[in-house]
Structure 1
Amino acid sequence: MSFALLFSGQGNQHPAMLPWIADDPIVRDMRARLGVKDWRAALADPGWAERNDNAQTLLTGLELAAWNQLAPLVAPPAAIAGYSVGELAAFSAAGVLAPDSTIELAQRRAQAMDECAASAPGGLLAVTSLSISAVERLRAATGLALAIRNGEDSVILGGPMAALVQAERMVLLEGAQCTRLRVNVASHTPWMREAADSFARTLENASFHAPRVALFSNAADRIRDASAGRNALAAQIATTVRWDECMENVMARHIRCVLEIGPGQALARMWNQRCPTVPARACDDFRSPAAIAAWLSSHADR
Protein backbone atom coordinates (compact mmCIF):
# COMPACT_ATOMS: atom_id res chain seq x y z
CA MET A 1 0.00 0.00 0.00
CA SER A 2 1.61 3.26 -1.16
CA PHE A 3 -0.17 6.41 -0.12
CA ALA A 4 0.60 9.84 1.34
CA LEU A 5 -0.96 11.78 4.20
CA LEU A 6 -1.54 15.54 4.03
CA PHE A 7 -2.62 17.32 7.22
CA SER A 8 -4.83 20.41 6.81
CA GLY A 9 -4.20 23.90 8.11
CA GLN A 10 -6.73 26.15 9.82
CA GLY A 11 -9.48 28.17 8.19
CA ASN A 12 -11.91 25.45 7.11
CA GLN A 13 -12.91 24.14 10.54
CA HIS A 14 -16.66 23.55 10.92
CA PRO A 15 -19.00 21.84 13.42
CA ALA A 16 -19.72 18.84 11.15
CA MET A 17 -16.08 18.11 10.31
CA LEU A 18 -14.78 14.55 10.63
CA PRO A 19 -18.24 13.08 11.39
CA TRP A 20 -16.79 9.65 12.17
CA ILE A 21 -14.24 10.66 14.78
CA ALA A 22 -14.65 9.05 18.22
CA ASP A 23 -14.12 10.72 21.59
CA ASP A 24 -10.84 8.95 22.33
CA PRO A 25 -8.13 9.96 24.86
CA ILE A 26 -6.55 12.38 22.38
CA VAL A 27 -9.86 14.16 21.81
CA ARG A 28 -10.54 14.25 25.55
CA ASP A 29 -7.09 15.76 26.16
CA MET A 30 -7.77 18.36 23.48
CA ARG A 31 -11.18 19.21 24.97
CA ALA A 32 -9.67 19.59 28.44
CA ARG A 33 -6.98 21.93 27.17
CA LEU A 34 -9.64 24.06 25.44
CA GLY A 35 -12.02 23.91 28.39
CA VAL A 36 -14.99 22.67 26.31
CA LYS A 37 -17.26 19.67 26.76
CA ASP A 38 -18.57 19.64 23.18
CA TRP A 39 -16.09 20.81 20.56
CA ARG A 40 -18.70 20.71 17.80
CA ALA A 41 -20.96 23.08 19.74
CA ALA A 42 -17.96 25.33 20.37
CA LEU A 43 -17.19 25.44 16.63
CA ALA A 44 -20.74 26.63 15.95
CA ASP A 45 -19.70 29.98 17.45
CA PRO A 46 -17.67 31.75 14.71
CA GLY A 47 -15.98 33.99 17.24
CA TRP A 48 -14.69 30.98 19.18
CA ALA A 49 -13.83 28.97 16.06
CA GLU A 50 -11.74 31.69 14.46
CA ARG A 51 -9.61 32.47 17.50
CA ASN A 52 -6.07 31.44 16.69
CA ASP A 53 -5.43 29.66 19.98
CA ASN A 54 -8.66 27.66 19.78
CA ALA A 55 -8.24 26.74 16.12
CA GLN A 56 -4.63 25.56 16.34
CA THR A 57 -5.21 23.45 19.44
CA LEU A 58 -8.48 22.00 18.13
CA LEU A 59 -7.17 21.09 14.69
CA THR A 60 -3.97 19.56 15.98
CA GLY A 61 -5.87 17.41 18.47
CA LEU A 62 -8.54 16.29 16.01
CA GLU A 63 -6.06 15.50 13.26
CA LEU A 64 -3.95 13.44 15.65
CA ALA A 65 -7.05 11.60 16.87
CA ALA A 66 -8.25 10.98 13.31
CA TRP A 67 -4.97 9.39 12.30
CA ASN A 68 -4.75 7.45 15.59
CA GLN A 69 -8.17 5.91 14.88
CA LEU A 70 -7.42 5.21 11.22
CA ALA A 71 -3.82 3.96 11.50
CA PRO A 72 -4.66 0.44 12.82
CA LEU A 73 -6.71 -0.21 9.68
CA VAL A 74 -4.06 0.67 7.10
CA ALA A 75 -0.38 0.22 6.32
CA PRO A 76 2.09 3.00 7.17
CA PRO A 77 2.08 5.89 4.69
CA ALA A 78 4.92 6.35 2.23
CA ALA A 79 5.10 10.12 2.72
CA ILE A 80 3.66 12.78 5.03
CA ALA A 81 3.36 16.58 4.88
CA GLY A 82 1.32 19.17 6.75
CA TYR A 83 0.00 22.55 5.67
CA SER A 84 0.84 25.43 8.04
CA VAL A 85 -0.21 24.37 11.57
CA GLY A 86 -0.96 20.95 10.07
CA GLU A 87 2.78 20.36 10.20
CA LEU A 88 2.53 19.65 13.91
CA ALA A 89 0.14 16.73 13.35
CA ALA A 90 2.23 15.61 10.38
CA PHE A 91 5.39 15.50 12.47
CA SER A 92 3.59 13.46 15.12
CA ALA A 93 2.16 11.03 12.55
CA ALA A 94 5.71 10.54 11.25
CA GLY A 95 6.93 9.62 14.75
CA VAL A 96 8.83 12.84 15.43
CA LEU A 97 6.61 13.99 18.33
CA ALA A 98 4.34 12.24 20.84
CA PRO A 99 0.63 13.17 20.51
CA ASP A 100 0.28 14.75 23.98
CA SER A 101 3.34 16.94 23.56
CA THR A 102 2.17 17.89 20.06
CA ILE A 103 -1.11 19.32 21.33
CA GLU A 104 0.79 21.25 24.00
CA LEU A 105 3.12 22.60 21.31
CA ALA A 106 0.10 23.72 19.28
CA GLN A 107 -1.03 25.77 22.26
CA ARG A 108 2.43 27.25 22.74
CA ARG A 109 2.70 28.03 19.02
CA ALA A 110 -0.64 29.85 19.00
CA GLN A 111 0.28 31.74 22.17
CA ALA A 112 3.55 32.94 20.65
CA MET A 113 1.79 34.03 17.46
CA ASP A 114 -1.02 35.82 19.31
CA GLU A 115 1.46 37.70 21.51
CA CYS A 116 3.35 38.76 18.40
CA ALA A 117 0.13 39.77 16.62
CA ALA A 118 -0.89 41.96 19.57
CA SER A 119 1.87 44.38 18.61
CA ALA A 120 1.65 43.70 14.85
CA PRO A 121 -2.00 42.95 13.91
CA GLY A 122 -2.48 41.37 10.52
CA GLY A 123 -4.10 38.69 8.42
CA LEU A 124 -3.95 36.68 5.22
CA LEU A 125 -5.39 37.13 1.72
CA ALA A 126 -5.71 34.27 -0.78
CA VAL A 127 -5.15 35.41 -4.37
CA THR A 128 -5.85 33.32 -7.48
CA SER A 129 -5.64 33.82 -11.24
CA LEU A 130 -2.98 36.49 -10.95
CA SER A 131 0.34 36.11 -12.78
CA ILE A 132 3.63 35.89 -10.92
CA SER A 133 4.68 39.30 -12.21
CA ALA A 134 1.35 40.83 -11.16
CA VAL A 135 1.72 39.34 -7.67
CA GLU A 136 5.18 40.88 -7.39
CA ARG A 137 3.82 44.28 -8.43
CA LEU A 138 1.05 43.90 -5.87
CA ARG A 139 3.54 43.08 -3.14
CA ALA A 140 5.75 46.02 -4.09
CA ALA A 141 2.78 48.41 -3.94
CA THR A 142 1.33 47.15 -0.66
CA GLY A 143 4.34 45.86 1.25
CA LEU A 144 2.67 42.49 1.82
CA ALA A 145 4.73 39.31 2.11
CA LEU A 146 4.32 36.00 0.32
CA ALA A 147 2.95 33.80 3.11
CA ILE A 148 2.03 30.63 1.19
CA ARG A 149 2.79 29.50 -2.34
CA ASN A 150 0.28 26.90 -3.51
CA GLY A 151 1.05 27.21 -7.23
CA GLU A 152 2.02 29.67 -9.95
CA ASP A 153 -1.39 31.36 -9.93
CA SER A 154 -2.44 30.59 -6.36
CA VAL A 155 -0.75 32.36 -3.45
CA ILE A 156 -1.57 33.73 -0.03
CA LEU A 157 -0.27 37.13 0.99
CA GLY A 158 0.11 38.31 4.56
CA GLY A 159 0.64 41.54 6.43
CA PRO A 160 -1.09 44.46 8.17
CA MET A 161 -4.84 44.92 7.76
CA ALA A 162 -4.61 48.22 5.90
CA ALA A 163 -2.29 46.67 3.33
CA LEU A 164 -4.68 43.72 2.90
CA VAL A 165 -7.57 46.09 2.18
CA GLN A 166 -5.43 47.91 -0.39
CA ALA A 167 -4.44 44.60 -1.98
CA GLU A 168 -8.07 43.45 -2.24
CA ARG A 169 -8.95 46.56 -4.25
CA MET A 170 -5.96 46.09 -6.55
CA VAL A 171 -6.67 42.39 -7.16
CA LEU A 172 -10.27 43.11 -8.14
CA LEU A 173 -9.11 45.83 -10.55
CA GLU A 174 -6.83 43.23 -12.16
CA GLY A 175 -9.84 40.97 -12.73
CA ALA A 176 -8.48 38.26 -10.43
CA GLN A 177 -10.02 36.65 -7.33
CA CYS A 178 -9.16 37.07 -3.67
CA THR A 179 -10.52 35.87 -0.34
CA ARG A 180 -9.69 37.07 3.16
CA LEU A 181 -8.87 34.02 5.27
CA ARG A 182 -10.46 33.30 8.65
CA VAL A 183 -7.29 34.00 10.63
CA ASN A 184 -6.24 37.03 12.62
CA VAL A 185 -2.45 36.83 12.35
CA ALA A 186 -0.04 37.36 9.47
CA SER A 187 1.25 33.79 9.60
CA HIS A 188 4.38 32.81 7.65
CA THR A 189 5.55 36.39 7.17
CA PRO A 190 8.33 38.51 8.73
CA TRP A 191 5.71 40.07 11.06
CA MET A 192 5.83 36.74 12.95
CA ARG A 193 9.62 36.73 13.49
CA GLU A 194 9.35 37.21 17.26
CA ALA A 195 6.85 34.34 17.42
CA ALA A 196 9.20 32.09 15.46
CA ASP A 197 12.07 32.92 17.82
CA SER A 198 9.86 32.30 20.86
CA PHE A 199 8.63 28.96 19.51
CA ALA A 200 12.20 27.93 18.70
CA ARG A 201 13.05 28.35 22.39
CA THR A 202 10.01 26.24 23.31
CA LEU A 203 11.08 23.49 20.91
CA GLU A 204 14.53 23.28 22.52
CA ASN A 205 12.89 21.55 25.50
CA ALA A 206 10.61 19.25 23.47
CA SER A 207 11.46 15.60 22.81
CA PHE A 208 12.08 15.08 19.08
CA HIS A 209 12.90 11.89 17.15
CA ALA A 210 13.95 11.13 13.60
CA PRO A 211 10.90 10.51 11.37
CA ARG A 212 9.92 6.92 10.62
CA VAL A 213 8.64 7.77 7.13
CA ALA A 214 9.48 10.36 4.48
CA LEU A 215 8.44 13.69 6.02
CA PHE A 216 8.39 16.94 4.08
CA SER A 217 8.42 20.42 5.58
CA ASN A 218 6.91 23.72 4.47
CA ALA A 219 10.24 25.44 5.09
CA ALA A 220 13.02 22.86 4.77
CA ASP A 221 12.14 20.12 2.25
CA ARG A 222 12.69 16.61 3.68
CA ILE A 223 13.16 16.23 7.44
CA ARG A 224 15.70 13.52 8.29
CA ASP A 225 16.56 14.10 11.95
CA ALA A 226 15.39 15.73 15.17
CA SER A 227 17.49 18.86 14.76
CA ALA A 228 16.10 19.57 11.29
CA GLY A 229 12.60 19.05 12.65
CA ARG A 230 13.03 21.64 15.39
CA ASN A 231 14.46 24.20 13.00
CA ALA A 232 11.75 23.67 10.39
CA LEU A 233 8.78 23.93 12.77
CA ALA A 234 10.05 27.23 14.15
CA ALA A 235 11.12 28.68 10.80
CA GLN A 236 7.81 28.16 9.01
CA ILE A 237 5.99 30.53 11.38
CA ALA A 238 7.79 33.50 9.81
CA THR A 239 8.77 32.25 6.35
CA THR A 240 6.90 31.29 3.19
CA VAL A 241 5.08 27.96 3.16
CA ARG A 242 6.26 26.32 -0.08
CA TRP A 243 3.29 24.01 -0.48
CA ASP A 244 3.83 23.60 -4.22
CA GLU A 245 7.26 22.13 -3.46
CA CYS A 246 5.80 19.90 -0.73
CA MET A 247 3.39 18.42 -3.26
CA GLU A 248 6.20 17.82 -5.74
CA ASN A 249 8.32 16.15 -3.06
CA VAL A 250 5.44 13.88 -2.07
CA MET A 251 4.70 13.01 -5.70
CA ALA A 252 8.34 12.01 -6.18
CA ARG A 253 7.78 9.16 -3.68
CA HIS A 254 5.69 7.40 -6.39
CA ILE A 255 2.62 7.19 -4.21
CA ARG A 256 -0.64 5.85 -5.66
CA CYS A 257 -3.14 8.01 -3.76
CA VAL A 258 -3.35 10.80 -1.19
CA LEU A 259 -5.49 11.26 1.92
CA GLU A 260 -6.12 14.66 3.49
CA ILE A 261 -6.68 14.58 7.24
CA GLY A 262 -8.48 17.58 8.69
CA PRO A 263 -11.43 19.84 7.90
CA GLY A 264 -12.66 20.39 4.35
CA GLN A 265 -11.13 19.30 1.07
CA ALA A 266 -8.78 22.18 0.24
CA LEU A 267 -5.57 20.14 0.09
CA ALA A 268 -7.23 17.28 -1.81
CA ARG A 269 -8.55 19.74 -4.41
CA MET A 270 -5.13 21.37 -4.82
CA TRP A 271 -3.53 17.97 -5.20
CA ASN A 272 -6.05 16.78 -7.80
CA GLN A 273 -5.54 19.95 -9.83
CA ARG A 274 -1.76 19.59 -9.76
CA CYS A 275 -1.40 15.80 -9.96
CA PRO A 276 -4.61 14.48 -11.60
CA THR A 277 -3.16 11.01 -12.26
CA VAL A 278 -2.86 10.31 -8.52
CA PRO A 279 -6.27 10.60 -6.80
CA ALA A 280 -6.73 12.45 -3.53
CA ARG A 281 -9.65 12.37 -1.10
CA ALA A 282 -10.32 14.06 2.23
CA CYS A 283 -11.29 12.38 5.49
CA ASP A 284 -14.20 14.82 5.63
CA ASP A 285 -15.71 12.97 2.63
CA PHE A 286 -16.26 9.74 4.56
CA ARG A 287 -18.59 8.47 7.27
CA SER A 288 -16.28 5.91 8.93
CA PRO A 289 -12.61 4.91 9.27
CA ALA A 290 -13.48 1.61 7.57
CA ALA A 291 -14.71 3.47 4.49
CA ILE A 292 -11.48 5.48 4.36
CA ALA A 293 -9.39 2.32 4.71
CA ALA A 294 -11.38 0.66 1.92
CA TRP A 295 -10.77 3.62 -0.40
CA LEU A 296 -7.05 3.64 0.37
CA SER A 297 -6.83 -0.10 -0.24
CA SER A 298 -8.65 0.16 -3.56
CA HIS A 299 -6.06 2.63 -4.87
CA ALA A 300 -2.85 2.15 -2.91
CA ASP A 301 -2.72 -1.63 -3.35
CA ARG A 302 -2.82 -1.54 -7.15
Structure 2
Amino acid sequence: MFAAAAAALDGQDPRGLFRNGAGATEANWVAQILCCTQALAACAVLGDLIEGPLTIAGYSVGELAAWGCAGVLSVEATLRLARRRAVEMDRATGPGFGLAFVRGLRRTFVDALCARFDAEVSIINPGEAYVLGGERQSLEALCEQARLGGASRVGLLPVHVPSHTSRLAPASVEFQAALDAERLGFIRPDTELLSGIDGSRVTDLHAGTRKLAAQVSRTILWSDCMSSCIEAGSTVFLELGPGRGLADIIVGAHPEVQARSLDEFRTLAGVRSWVRKALEK
Protein backbone atom coordinates (compact mmCIF):
# COMPACT_ATOMS: atom_id res chain seq x y z
CA MET A 1 0.00 0.00 0.00
CA PHE A 2 2.76 2.45 0.88
CA ALA A 3 4.56 1.47 -2.34
CA ALA A 4 1.41 2.35 -4.29
CA ALA A 5 1.22 5.67 -2.46
CA ALA A 6 4.89 6.38 -3.22
CA ALA A 7 4.21 5.71 -6.89
CA ALA A 8 1.39 8.26 -6.85
CA LEU A 9 3.68 10.71 -5.01
CA ASP A 10 6.48 10.61 -7.59
CA GLY A 11 8.55 8.25 -5.47
CA GLN A 12 8.12 10.01 -2.11
CA ASP A 13 7.36 7.74 0.85
CA PRO A 14 4.04 8.94 2.37
CA ARG A 15 5.31 8.25 5.91
CA GLY A 16 8.28 10.51 5.35
CA LEU A 17 6.01 13.31 4.13
CA PHE A 18 3.94 13.07 7.30
CA ARG A 19 7.04 13.23 9.47
CA ASN A 20 8.33 16.28 7.59
CA GLY A 21 5.33 18.33 8.72
CA ALA A 22 2.72 20.53 7.10
CA GLY A 23 5.09 22.25 4.70
CA ALA A 24 5.63 19.01 2.80
CA THR A 25 1.90 18.34 2.46
CA GLU A 26 0.52 21.73 1.42
CA ALA A 27 0.20 20.89 -2.28
CA ASN A 28 -3.38 19.88 -3.06
CA TRP A 29 -2.43 16.69 -4.93
CA VAL A 30 -0.09 15.58 -2.14
CA ALA A 31 -2.67 16.24 0.58
CA GLN A 32 -5.42 14.34 -1.23
CA ILE A 33 -3.19 11.31 -1.79
CA LEU A 34 -2.08 11.31 1.86
CA CYS A 35 -5.65 11.57 3.14
CA CYS A 36 -6.64 8.53 1.07
CA THR A 37 -3.50 6.64 2.06
CA GLN A 38 -4.21 7.04 5.77
CA ALA A 39 -7.82 5.90 5.42
CA LEU A 40 -6.89 2.89 3.29
CA ALA A 41 -4.06 1.89 5.61
CA ALA A 42 -6.30 2.16 8.66
CA CYS A 43 -9.01 0.11 6.98
CA ALA A 44 -6.46 -2.55 6.03
CA VAL A 45 -5.17 -3.06 9.56
CA LEU A 46 -8.49 -2.62 11.40
CA GLY A 47 -11.01 -4.11 9.02
CA ASP A 48 -11.03 -7.49 10.77
CA LEU A 49 -12.55 -5.84 13.85
CA ILE A 50 -15.95 -5.51 12.20
CA GLU A 51 -18.18 -8.56 12.22
CA GLY A 52 -21.53 -7.41 11.00
CA PRO A 53 -23.15 -4.43 9.26
CA LEU A 54 -20.80 -1.59 8.40
CA THR A 55 -21.62 1.82 6.94
CA ILE A 56 -18.84 3.79 5.23
CA ALA A 57 -19.08 7.49 4.42
CA GLY A 58 -16.34 9.83 3.24
CA TYR A 59 -15.95 13.58 3.66
CA SER A 60 -14.72 15.38 0.52
CA VAL A 61 -11.77 13.38 -0.89
CA GLY A 62 -12.53 10.91 1.92
CA GLU A 63 -15.46 9.72 -0.19
CA LEU A 64 -12.98 8.47 -2.76
CA ALA A 65 -11.10 6.69 0.03
CA ALA A 66 -14.42 5.22 1.17
CA TRP A 67 -14.83 3.57 -2.22
CA GLY A 68 -11.43 1.96 -1.72
CA CYS A 69 -12.28 0.88 1.84
CA ALA A 70 -15.56 -0.63 0.60
CA GLY A 71 -13.65 -2.73 -1.94
CA VAL A 72 -15.05 -1.04 -5.06
CA LEU A 73 -11.69 0.44 -6.10
CA SER A 74 -8.25 -1.09 -5.68
CA VAL A 75 -5.62 0.68 -3.58
CA GLU A 76 -3.70 1.61 -6.74
CA ALA A 77 -6.82 2.95 -8.46
CA THR A 78 -7.90 4.94 -5.41
CA LEU A 79 -4.55 6.68 -5.08
CA ARG A 80 -4.22 7.23 -8.82
CA LEU A 81 -7.68 8.81 -8.86
CA ALA A 82 -6.86 10.96 -5.82
CA ARG A 83 -4.03 12.54 -7.73
CA ARG A 84 -6.12 13.02 -10.88
CA ARG A 85 -8.94 14.56 -8.84
CA ALA A 86 -6.60 17.10 -7.24
CA VAL A 87 -4.88 17.98 -10.51
CA GLU A 88 -8.21 18.63 -12.25
CA MET A 89 -9.46 20.72 -9.33
CA ASP A 90 -6.34 22.88 -9.45
CA ARG A 91 -6.63 23.21 -13.22
CA ALA A 92 -10.26 24.35 -13.00
CA THR A 93 -9.43 27.29 -10.73
CA GLY A 94 -6.72 29.88 -10.41
CA PRO A 95 -5.02 31.57 -7.46
CA GLY A 96 -6.97 33.56 -4.93
CA PHE A 97 -9.72 31.05 -4.13
CA GLY A 98 -10.43 29.09 -0.97
CA LEU A 99 -12.86 27.94 1.70
CA ALA A 100 -14.28 29.40 4.91
CA PHE A 101 -16.38 28.00 7.74
CA VAL A 102 -19.38 29.60 9.39
CA ARG A 103 -21.34 28.18 12.31
CA GLY A 104 -24.41 29.30 14.20
CA LEU A 105 -26.40 31.11 11.51
CA ARG A 106 -29.67 30.20 9.82
CA ARG A 107 -29.34 28.75 6.32
CA THR A 108 -31.33 31.63 4.82
CA PHE A 109 -28.85 34.12 6.28
CA VAL A 110 -25.90 32.08 5.00
CA ASP A 111 -27.45 31.95 1.52
CA ALA A 112 -27.91 35.71 1.57
CA LEU A 113 -24.24 36.19 2.49
CA CYS A 114 -23.19 33.88 -0.33
CA ALA A 115 -25.28 35.80 -2.83
CA ARG A 116 -23.81 39.10 -1.62
CA PHE A 117 -20.17 37.94 -1.76
CA ASP A 118 -20.34 35.59 -4.77
CA ALA A 119 -19.70 32.49 -2.67
CA GLU A 120 -21.37 29.07 -2.54
CA VAL A 121 -22.20 26.57 0.17
CA SER A 122 -19.60 23.84 -0.19
CA ILE A 123 -20.46 21.50 2.70
CA ILE A 124 -23.43 21.35 5.07
CA ASN A 125 -22.56 19.88 8.45
CA PRO A 126 -24.96 19.18 11.32
CA GLY A 127 -25.69 21.95 13.80
CA GLU A 128 -25.88 24.92 11.40
CA ALA A 129 -22.23 24.52 10.41
CA TYR A 130 -21.28 25.38 6.84
CA VAL A 131 -18.19 25.39 4.66
CA LEU A 132 -18.30 28.09 1.97
CA GLY A 133 -16.25 28.40 -1.22
CA GLY A 134 -15.25 31.43 -3.27
CA GLU A 135 -12.54 34.05 -3.74
CA ARG A 136 -10.52 34.43 -0.54
CA GLN A 137 -10.82 38.21 -0.50
CA SER A 138 -14.60 37.96 -0.75
CA LEU A 139 -14.66 35.21 1.86
CA GLU A 140 -12.79 37.47 4.29
CA ALA A 141 -15.49 40.10 3.88
CA LEU A 142 -18.19 37.44 4.19
CA CYS A 143 -16.64 36.18 7.44
CA GLU A 144 -16.69 39.68 8.90
CA GLN A 145 -20.38 40.06 8.09
CA ALA A 146 -21.06 36.61 9.54
CA ARG A 147 -19.42 37.70 12.81
CA LEU A 148 -21.56 40.82 12.89
CA GLY A 149 -24.58 38.64 12.18
CA GLY A 150 -23.96 36.54 15.28
CA ALA A 151 -22.04 33.52 13.99
CA SER A 152 -20.59 31.44 16.83
CA ARG A 153 -17.56 30.40 14.78
CA VAL A 154 -16.14 31.79 11.56
CA GLY A 155 -12.84 31.85 9.70
CA LEU A 156 -10.83 30.96 6.62
CA LEU A 157 -9.59 27.40 6.07
CA PRO A 158 -6.05 26.56 4.87
CA VAL A 159 -7.41 25.43 1.50
CA HIS A 160 -6.81 27.21 -1.80
CA VAL A 161 -9.43 25.54 -3.96
CA PRO A 162 -13.19 26.33 -3.81
CA SER A 163 -14.05 22.64 -3.44
CA HIS A 164 -17.62 21.47 -4.03
CA THR A 165 -18.73 24.62 -5.83
CA SER A 166 -19.87 25.16 -9.41
CA ARG A 167 -16.51 26.73 -10.29
CA LEU A 168 -15.13 23.19 -10.41
CA ALA A 169 -17.65 21.86 -12.94
CA PRO A 170 -14.87 21.20 -15.52
CA ALA A 171 -13.03 19.13 -12.92
CA SER A 172 -16.11 16.97 -12.40
CA VAL A 173 -16.22 16.20 -16.11
CA GLU A 174 -12.56 15.19 -16.23
CA PHE A 175 -12.78 13.17 -13.02
CA GLN A 176 -15.78 11.28 -14.40
CA ALA A 177 -13.70 10.32 -17.43
CA ALA A 178 -10.98 9.03 -15.10
CA LEU A 179 -13.51 7.01 -13.10
CA ASP A 180 -14.98 5.52 -16.28
CA ALA A 181 -11.53 4.21 -17.20
CA GLU A 182 -11.15 2.26 -13.94
CA ARG A 183 -12.33 -1.25 -13.24
CA LEU A 184 -14.90 -1.41 -10.46
CA GLY A 185 -15.13 -4.24 -7.97
CA PHE A 186 -18.03 -5.00 -5.66
CA ILE A 187 -19.19 -3.52 -2.38
CA ARG A 188 -18.26 -5.92 0.38
CA PRO A 189 -21.05 -7.96 1.99
CA ASP A 190 -22.76 -6.33 4.99
CA THR A 191 -21.37 -2.95 3.89
CA GLU A 192 -23.28 0.19 2.99
CA LEU A 193 -21.46 2.90 1.04
CA LEU A 194 -22.98 6.39 1.16
CA SER A 195 -22.98 9.16 -1.44
CA GLY A 196 -21.80 12.53 -0.18
CA ILE A 197 -24.08 14.74 -2.24
CA ASP A 198 -27.33 13.28 -0.91
CA GLY A 199 -26.51 10.78 1.84
CA SER A 200 -28.13 7.93 -0.08
CA ARG A 201 -26.85 4.35 -0.24
CA VAL A 202 -24.82 3.46 -3.35
CA THR A 203 -26.54 0.49 -4.98
CA ASP A 204 -25.68 1.05 -8.67
CA LEU A 205 -21.92 1.53 -8.92
CA HIS A 206 -21.96 3.26 -12.29
CA ALA A 207 -24.60 5.70 -11.08
CA GLY A 208 -22.52 6.05 -7.95
CA THR A 209 -19.47 7.15 -9.93
CA ARG A 210 -21.53 9.96 -11.42
CA LYS A 211 -22.32 11.21 -7.92
CA LEU A 212 -18.69 10.74 -6.86
CA ALA A 213 -17.56 12.89 -9.79
CA ALA A 214 -20.35 15.42 -9.26
CA GLN A 215 -19.40 16.05 -5.61
CA VAL A 216 -16.24 17.81 -6.78
CA SER A 217 -18.46 20.67 -7.92
CA ARG A 218 -21.63 20.19 -5.85
CA THR A 219 -22.51 20.75 -2.21
CA ILE A 220 -21.75 17.86 0.15
CA LEU A 221 -24.65 17.09 2.50
CA TRP A 222 -22.60 15.65 5.36
CA SER A 223 -25.51 16.22 7.72
CA ASP A 224 -27.60 13.87 5.55
CA CYS A 225 -24.80 11.29 5.49
CA MET A 226 -24.72 11.27 9.28
CA SER A 227 -28.52 10.98 9.44
CA SER A 228 -28.33 8.02 7.05
CA CYS A 229 -25.77 6.35 9.33
CA ILE A 230 -28.06 6.78 12.33
CA GLU A 231 -31.07 5.52 10.39
CA ALA A 232 -29.05 2.45 9.35
CA GLY A 233 -28.51 1.67 13.02
CA SER A 234 -24.93 2.85 13.42
CA THR A 235 -23.99 3.37 17.06
CA VAL A 236 -20.16 3.35 16.93
CA PHE A 237 -18.18 5.70 14.66
CA LEU A 238 -14.44 5.58 13.97
CA GLU A 239 -12.94 8.46 12.01
CA LEU A 240 -9.95 7.22 10.01
CA GLY A 241 -8.40 10.67 9.83
CA PRO A 242 -6.30 12.64 9.51
CA GLY A 243 -7.81 14.84 12.21
CA ARG A 244 -10.74 14.38 14.57
CA GLY A 245 -13.24 16.95 13.32
CA LEU A 246 -15.76 14.42 12.01
CA ALA A 247 -15.90 12.51 15.30
CA ASP A 248 -16.68 15.77 17.08
CA ILE A 249 -19.37 16.60 14.52
CA ILE A 250 -21.28 13.33 14.93
CA VAL A 251 -21.13 13.42 18.74
CA GLY A 252 -22.31 17.03 18.72
CA ALA A 253 -25.30 16.14 16.56
CA HIS A 254 -26.02 12.73 18.10
CA PRO A 255 -24.64 12.57 21.67
CA GLU A 256 -26.08 9.07 22.13
CA VAL A 257 -23.47 7.49 19.83
CA GLN A 258 -19.84 6.64 20.53
CA ALA A 259 -17.29 8.26 18.22
CA ARG A 260 -13.54 8.67 18.25
CA SER A 261 -10.82 9.38 15.72
CA LEU A 262 -7.79 7.27 14.91
CA ASP A 263 -5.65 10.33 15.73
CA GLU A 264 -6.78 10.20 19.37
CA PHE A 265 -4.93 6.93 19.98
CA ARG A 266 -1.23 6.28 20.49
CA THR A 267 -1.31 2.66 19.29
CA LEU A 268 -3.38 0.38 17.08
CA ALA A 269 -3.89 -1.83 20.11
CA GLY A 270 -5.64 1.09 21.78
CA VAL A 271 -7.92 1.54 18.77
CA ARG A 272 -8.78 -2.16 18.75
CA SER A 273 -9.56 -2.17 22.45
CA TRP A 274 -11.88 0.83 22.20
CA VAL A 275 -13.73 -0.51 19.14
CA ARG A 276 -14.30 -3.91 20.76
CA LYS A 277 -15.60 -2.39 23.99
CA ALA A 278 -17.78 0.13 22.14
CA LEU A 279 -19.37 -2.59 20.00
CA GLU A 280 -20.14 -4.68 23.07
CA LYS A 281 -22.24 -1.93 24.66
* Shared fold, TM over 0.5: yes
C-alpha distance in 1 between matches for 2:31 and 2:53: 26
Letter in 1 for 2:260: R
Q: Distance in 1 between matches of 2:18 and 2:257?
A: 36
Map 1:30-69; keep pairs closer than 5 Å: 30-34=5-9, 35-37=11-13, 39-41=15-17, 44-69=20-45
Q: Distance in 2 between matches of 1:196 and 1:211?
A: 23
Would the aligned equivalents of 1:149 and 1:241 in 2 still touch at CA under 8 Å? yes
Distance 1:143 1:66, change over 3 A: same
Are residues 139 and 104 of structure 1, via their aligned partners in 2, closer, same or farther at CA, if it must alter by over 3 Å?
Answer: same
Any idea what SS the aligned residue of 1:168 has?
Answer: helix
Aligned partner of 1:298 among 271, 274, 277:
277
**Deviation of 1:46 (Å):** 3.4
User: What TM-score, normalized by structure 1, do the two folds share?
Assistant: 0.86
- Seen in structure 2, the aligned counterparts of structure 1 residues 76 and 48 have a Cα distance that, compared at 3 Å, is farther
Q: Indicate whether 1:123 and 2:101 are aligned.
A: no
Query: How far is the alpha carbon of 1:152 from its aligned partner?
Result: 4.5
Normalising by structure 2, report the TM-score: 0.92
| Shift, 1:254, TM fit | 1.0
1:216 aligned to which of 164, 185, 194:
194
Which blocks of at least 5 consecutive residues in structure 1 are unaligned?
A: 1-25
My pick for the range that moved more, 183-192 or 73-82, is 73-82
Q: 1:186-265 alignment to 2 at 5 Å?
A: 186-212=162-188, 213-220=191-198, 221-265=200-244
What letter matches 2:181 in structure 1?
Answer: N
2:125 alignment counterpart: 150
CA distance in 2, matches of 1:77, 1:286: 24
User: Aligned to 2:85, what secondary structure does the other structure show?
Assistant: helix
State the match for 2:267 in structure 1.
288
Aligned-partner Cα distance in 2 for 1:130–1:199: 33
Moved more, 229-238 or 292-301: 292-301
State the 1:38 CA deviation: 6.1
Q: How many Å apart are 1:256 and its aligned residue?
A: 2.4
Which amino acid in the other structure matches residue 193 of structure 2? L
CA contact (8 A) 2:38 2:242 kept: no
Q: Distance in 1 between matches of 2:52 and 2:265?
A: 20
Of residues 154, 175, 179, the one that matches 1:178 is 154
Aligned CA RMSD, in angstroms, stands at 1.8
Aligned residues: 276
Instruction: Determine the C-alpha separation between the residues in 2 that align with 1:164 and 1:76.
Output: 44
Equivalent pairs: percent with the same residue? 34
Instruction: Give the corresponding residue for 1:269.
Output: 248
